[in-house]
C-alpha cells in the first residue's frame, strides 16, 4: 500500500460485485481496500462503465434497494471517484483489444486507468494481460499491503 500512497488506484467492477454480494473471503478484502480509499491512503477511481455494469442486474429484477446500494457505493460513499471514458480511452481500448483479444469492458477499464494516470489497476481477473504503463494487481496481492 505504501508504494501507492496518495496515488490513484483503479478498481475493477468485480471488486464492487464482491462487496455488494457479500462474497465470502473476497468482500472483506474489497471492503478493506475501499476503507483505505476512504482514509485517503490511496485515491480509488473507477470508470463510469462500472456504474453501468453494476446496475444491470438490479434493474433487470426491478430491485430498487440494490439500485440504491450501487449508487450509494459509487456516488456517495467517498471511497471512489467515477472517471468518464472519452474518445482517447475508447481508442486505447481498441488497441488493447486488438493486441490482446480482450472484450471491450476488459479493455476499456485498463485504458481508462492509464488515462487517469492510476498507479495500478486492481482486479480479481487473473487472465488480464500485462499492459504497458500500469501495474495490474490481483486482489489477493493486496493482502500483502496489510488490508
- Domain of 70: which CATH number? 3.40.50.1010
pLDDT at 126: 83
For residue 124, tell me if it sits in a domain: yes
For residue 103, tell me if it sits in a domain: yes
For residue 88, tell me if it sits in a domain: yes
Total domains present in the chain:
1
Range of the domain at 137: 2-142
For residue 38, tell me if it sits in a domain: yes
For residue 147, tell me if it sits in a domain: no
Return mean pLDDT, the chain: 91
For residue 61, tell me if it sits in a domain: yes
Instruction: Check pLDDT > 60 for residue 146.
Output: no
Residue 21: band (very low, low, confident or very high) from pLDDT cuts 50, 70, 90: very high
Q: Which has the higher per-residue pLDDT, 98 or 131? A: 98
Distance set, CA 136 to CA 26, 62, 111, 132 (Å): 18, 35, 12, 10
For residue 107, tell me if it sits in a domain: yes
pTM for this prediction: 0.91
Q: Please state the three-class secondary structure of the chain as a single string.
A: CHHHCCCEEEECHHHHHHHHHCCCCCHHHHHHHHHHHHCCCCEEEEEHHHHHHHHHHHHHCCCHHHHHHHHHHHHHCCCEEEECCCHHHHHHHHHHHHHHCCCHHHHHHHHHHHHCCCCEEEECCCCCCCECCEEEEEHHHHHHHCC
pLDDT digits 0-9 by tens, 122-141: 999 888 888 888 898 888 76
pLDDT at 121: 93
Instruction: Check pLDDT > 70 for residue 1.
Output: no
pLDDT at 138: 87
For residue 110, tell me if it sits in a domain: yes
Amino acid at each position: 500500500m505504501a508504494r501507492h500512497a496518495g496515488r490513484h488506484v483503479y478498481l475493477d467492477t468485480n471488486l464492487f460485485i464482491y462487496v455488494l454480494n457479500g462474497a465470502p473471503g473476497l468482500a472483506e478484502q474489497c471492503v478493506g481496500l475501499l476503507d483505505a480509499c476512504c482514509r485517503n491512503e490511496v485515491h480509488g477511481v473507477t470508470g463510469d462503465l462500472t456504474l453501468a455494469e453494476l446496475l444491470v442486474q438490479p434493474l433487470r429484477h426491478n430491485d430498487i434497494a440494490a439500485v440504491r446500494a450501487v449508487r450509494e457505493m459509487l456516488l456517495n460513499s467517498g471511497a471512489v471517484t467515477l472517471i468518464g471514458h472519452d474518445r482517447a480511452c475508447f481508442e486505447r481500448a481498441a488497441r488493447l483489444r486488438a493486441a490482446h483479444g480482450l472484450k471491450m469492458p476488459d479493455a476499456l477499464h485498463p485504458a481508462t486507468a492509464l488515462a487517469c494516470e492510476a498507479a495500478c489497476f486492481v482486479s480479481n481477473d487473473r487472465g488480464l494481460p500485462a499492459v504497458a504503463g500500469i501495474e495490474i494487481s490481483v486482489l489477493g496481492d493486496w493482502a500483502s499491503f496489510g488490508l
